[in-house]
Amino acid sequence: MGQISDKIDHRVYTTSAIEKAGLENLCKDIYHYLKEKNE
């Protein structure tokens, strides 16, 4: 159970960073995936 609470605590501190960097990377990954799929 300790690991779950550690992940939740860690996520609280990293959510903003993930939203800034992660969403940009996710959008890029989806864009490239769709682009390759359509070609």
The predicted model scores a pTM of 0.43
pLDDT at 39 over 70: yes
* pLDDT at residue 2, rounded to an integer: 57
* pLDDT at residue 10, rounded to an integer: 62
For the chain, the domains span 1-39
How do residues 3-28 score in pLDDT, each as one tens digit? 666 666 665 666 677 677 777 888 89
Q: Which two tokens stand for residue 36?
A: 């390759």
Buried residues in 9-29 as b, exposed as e (16+ CB within 10 A): eeeeeeeeeeeeeeeeeeeee
